Amino acid sequence: MTTRLVQTRAELRGALANRDGEIGVVMTMGALHDGHRELIRVARRRCAVIVVTVFLNPLQFAPGEDLSRYPKTLETDVELCAAEDVDLVFAPSVVEVYPLGDQPQVRVQAGPLGEILEGDSRPGHFDGVLTVVAKLLHLTGPDVAYFGQKDAQQLLLIRRMCQDLDFPVEVVAVPTVRDPDGLALSSRNTYLTAADRDAALTLSGALHAGRSVAGHGPAAVLAAAHEVLGGEKSVGLDYLALVDPVHLRPVPEDYAGEALLAVAARVGSTRLIDNVMVTFGAAA
C-alpha cells in the first residue's frame, strides 16, 4: 500500500471518497516518534483506513512559547507513516486550516476543565487545541480518533467536547510510550541536551515513587513524588497534582479509586509533562 500525502481540503475529500470500512485518525503536530507509531498501530488493528494529520497549530501556542522552533520533519514523518501502512497523511498549511486568518473569531472554549493544571500554566492553550481538533474531525470525518494518555488533560477535554457537542466519533486512549529508562516520549525531547535528558528522568521517577506508596494514601503519594523532584535542582517544577480523572479535583485523604498523578516541569529550556494513574482503596 502506498501512503498518500494530501495538503488541501479538496485533496482530502477526494482521497476519502468511496473508502470502505471504519476510518481512524491520529492527530499530530509532526516530528513523529515511536509514541505516534504506537497510536497508528493501535488504530490499524481496528480501522480499515488510517489518516494521520500533521499540523503545527499556532492557535495553541502563546507568545514566547516554542512555535517557531518546534521541529518540522514532514519528509521523515511521511516515511514513518509509510512504514506503518498509513493510508493518508493530511499536512495542510495554516492558510488551509484557517482561511480567514489564524485568529478565528469563533472558537471552541474549553471551559473550567481547561483553566486548571496545564490550562493555568498556559492560558488559552486548550481553546486552541479543541478548536483545531474540532476542525480536523470535521475535515477527516473519522469513526475513531486516537490520542495518547501522556496528554491526559487534553484527552479528557477532547472526550468532553465530543460528548457535549455530539461529535459522531469514538475517542480511544492509548497508553503512554516510554523509552527503556522511563522517559515519556515527546517531540520536545529533541530539545534536551544529554544532561537535560538525565535530569528529565526525575519526572517519571517521581511518578513511580508516588505510585509505589499508594497504600499509604494520597498525602504519602505526593510527598514521595515531591521528594524525588526536590532531589534534582535543575528541574523547575511547574506543578505536581493528584486529582480525580473526571473533574481534575485534588483527591481527599480518604479517596478510593483511580486518581491521576500529573507533573509538569521545565528541564533546561524545555517544558515536559507526564502522568500515571494511581489506585487507592481495596483495589490498590
Hey, which residues are catalytic here? Answer: 36
Burial class (CB in 10 A: 0-12, 13-18, 19+), 46: middle
Tell me the C-alpha to C-alpha distance, in Å, between residue 268 and each of 70, 75, 142, 199, 236: 16, 28, 38, 9, 8
* Residue whose grid cell is 521517577: 205
Q: How far apart are CA 85 and CA 81, in angstroms?
A: 6
- Tell me which H or E stretch contains 118: helix 118-121
Spacing of C-alpha 118 from chain mean position: 12
Q: How far apart are CA 261 and CA 178, in angstroms?
A: 17
Q: Are 125 and 62 in contact (CB under 8 A)?
A: yes
In DSSP terms, 271 is beta-bridged to: 266
Tell me the C-alpha to C-alpha distance, in Å, between residue 128 and each of 58, 69, 85, 268: 8, 18, 30, 26
Residues in CB range of 63: below 8 A, 6 or more apart = none
